[in-house]
Amino acid sequence: MKYYSVPALREVLKTLDFKKRWKILDEVGNNVNLFNNFKTDSNLLKGWIRYRFEPNIIEKFISLTETEVLSLLKRYGNVSEEGFMMIRSNPKVHIDRLLKYPEATHHIDYFNTRRAEMLPPNFKEADKG
């Protein structure tokens, strides 16, 4: 199989259990465009796995076009855990918004790290009083 001929992709796949590995290969194994993108950057495959197997995100993720999937993975495939949890909380809204606004200010990690600077000076977060 061609995925195993690329060392970086083979390493990503080796970390998964047998069932999950074959599910991935069944879904993307014959897609030349995805393979070429994954071969160029194995982090895209890691992101694909992360989004594809998250129960709250599966429905939205598989409804995306291939172009949208690649765009999402290139920008948010390796998003922080906090960013991923935000996406996971409401995938339809968050994924649509992330795809609609590619600018850095709409990158979920960028927003989370700069949030305090963007809020009004007297603003207090509810969990901090």
pLDDT at 121: 53
pLDDT at 116: 52
pLDDT at 107: 58
pLDDT at 108: 61
Residue extents of the structural domains in the chain: 2-128
15-55 pLDDT per residue, tens? 888 888 888 887 787 778 888 888 888 888 888 888 888 88
pLDDT at 81: 81
Q: Which residue has the higher pLDDT, 65 or 124?
A: 65
- Under DSSP, the state recorded for 106 is G
Q: How confident is the model at residue 80 (pLDDT cuts 50, 70, 90)?
A: confident
pLDDT at 8: 82
Q: Three-state SS string across 66-119, please?
A: HHHHHHHHHHHCCCCHHHHHHHHHCHHHHHHHHHHCCCHHHCHHHHHHHHHHHC
Query: The tokens 């074959």 sit on which residue?
Result: 22
pLDDT at 93: 83
pLDDT at 32: 84
